[in-house]
A and B are shown apart, each in its own frame.
Chain A
Amino acid sequence: SQTIHQWPATLVQPVGSPLSLECTVEGTSNPNLYWYRQAAGRGLQLLFYSVGIGQISSEVPQNLSASRPQDRQFILSSKKLLLSDSGFYLCAWSRGGRTDTQYFGPGTRLTVL
C-alpha cells in the first residue's frame, strides 16, 4: 500500500529564517506530487505540482520554491520566511490523469513569528 509522509509536523520559525519541508511517498513510482497551503477559513491553495524529477510548476508567485530531487521526494523551501507564510502545508500525490484521486499527507503546521 502507498503512504505519504511529511515532516516536521509542526514548526515555529522567526521571520527571515529559511524553511525546508519534506514530503516522501512510499509504495508507488512516478507519482504526481503537489504542495498546498491551507489558511484558516480558506480553501486549499495549490502552490506547486510536479509530474517528474526536476519538473516543477508554480501556481502562484510567492516567497516559496519547490524541488523534486528524487522520484518520491518533494521539498518546499524558502530562503527568508515572511509572516504571511504561516499556515498548514499539505503534500499530496496522485497517479496522474484527470479523474484520479489525490492522497494527502498529515500536513505541517508552520508558524512564523
Chain B
Amino acid sequence: KNQVEQSPQSLIILEGKNCTLQCNYTVSPFSNLRWYKQDTGRGPVSLTIMTFSENTKSNGRYTATLDADTKQSSLHITASQLSDSASYICVVSPNYGGATNKLIFGTGTLLAVQP
C-alpha cells in the first residue's frame, strides 16, 4: 500500500534554531517527492520538488534531501523564524503514467517556532 509517514507529529523550537523534519514513504514506483508548507487555515504552498535522480534541493532557508534507496526524505529549516510556524507536508507522486498527477500526502509535521 502506498503510504507517506512523517515524524515528528509536532515540534516546538525557539526562534533562530535549526530543525529537521522526516518523511518515509512506501510509494512505488516513485516519480517525485515534494514538501509543502501549510499555514493554519490556508492552502498548502510548494517548497521543493525532487525527482528520483536528485538528492538535495534548497529554497532559501529550507533544504530538502532525498534518499531514493531507503525511501526517506528530510526537510531542514535553518535559522527558524516565527513565520515558519506551520504544518509541513511531505507529498509523493507515484509514477503511474498518464496526464494527471495523483499525489499521496503525509499527515504533516506541525512546527511551532517560539520567541
Contacts and interface: CB of A to CB of B under 8 A. Distances in A.
Interface of A: 32, 41-46, 49, 51, 57, 59, 88, 90, 92, 94, 96-107, 109
B102 A106 contact: no
A56 to B, nearest CB: 12
B103 A98 contact: no
Contacts of A46: 102-103
13 contacts: A43-B107, A44-B89, A46-B102, A51-B100, A90-B44, A94-B101, A97-B101, A98-B95, A98-B97, A99-B51, A99-B93, A102-B101, A104-B44
B72 interface: no
List the 10 closest A-B pairs by CB distance, nearest first: A104-B43, A43-B105, A44-B105, A43-B107, A101-B46, A98-B31, A104-B44, A96-B99, A107-B43, A105-B43
A79 B43 CA distance: 26
B41 interface: yes
B70 to A, nearest CB: 21
Interface residues of B, number: 28
A13 B34 CA distance: 34
B103 A51 contact: no
A88 B40 CA distance: 11
Contacts of B100: 32, 49, 51, 57, 96
B21 interface: no
B42 A43 contact: no
Given A43-B105, A99-B51, A104 B41 contact: no
Contact of B32 (A88, A92, A99): A99
Contacts of A32: 99-101
Contacts of B32: 98-99
B45 A43 contact: no
A45 B93 CA distance: 14
Contacts of B66: none
Given A43-B4, A104-B43, A104-B44, A98 B101 contact: yes
